[in-house]
Structure formats: C-alpha cells, structure tokens
C-alpha cells in the first residue's frame, strides 16, 4: 500500500463526510438558516454523517466500533427528539 507523499500510516483508513452544495443548500446558507435545517436538507440529498460512515466500515470489518466511537461524536440529528 502506498501512502500519499510517503508520510501516511500504512493500513489506516480515512473517515470523512462531505456535503455537496445543492442550490437549495446554497440558498439556506446564504439565508443563514439554522444548522439543523441545513443538515436535514443535506441528509435528504444523501449525505451520510461521519459516525454513520464509520459504522458502515465496522460492518465491513475495516475498523472497530471502539475506533469509530473514539473518533466521532454523536450529534443530535435534525428532527430527532
């Protein structure tokens, strides 16, 4: 396995989330809508939260639950109690 610029740690897997800025989300950001509303719009268009992506990697056997829980935070989801 080759590492970027040869300074990474072999065997490590990146965990990330990415929000694509759709016209709806761009408008919400411009209008300074609350984060919860922007997050809900991003989720409707398929955004996966960081912890969810980590749990997917746990199910695939790529990492451990302990690593995911230590590396991510549990955020209150928009619309949840």
Domain ranges for the chain: 21-71
pTM: 0.67
Q: Categorize the per-residue pLDDT at 8 as very low, low, confident or very high, splitting at 50, 70 and 90.
A: low
- In this predicted structure, the answer to whether residue 46 has a pLDDT above a threshold of 60 is yes
What DSSP character marks residue 62?
Answer: S
Task: Between 43 and 2, name the one with better pLDDT.
Answer: 43
Helix (H) or strand (E) holding 44: helix 35-44
Range 55-79 average pLDDT = 82
CB-CB contact of 42 with 50 (8 Å)? no
Structure tokens belonging to residue 51 = 């912890």
- In this predicted structure, the answer to whether residue 54 has a pLDDT above a threshold of 90 is yes
């Amino acid at each position: 396995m080759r590492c970027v610029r040869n300074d990474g740690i072999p065997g490590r897997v990146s965990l990330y989330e990415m929000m694509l800025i759709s016209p709806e989300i761009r408008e919400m950001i411009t209008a300074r809508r609350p984060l919860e509303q922007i997050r809900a719009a991003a989720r409707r268009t398929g955004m996966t939260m960081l912890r969810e992506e980590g749990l997917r990697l746990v199910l695939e056997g790529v990492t451990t639950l302990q690593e995911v829980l230590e590396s991510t935070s549990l955020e209150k989801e928009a619309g949840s109690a």
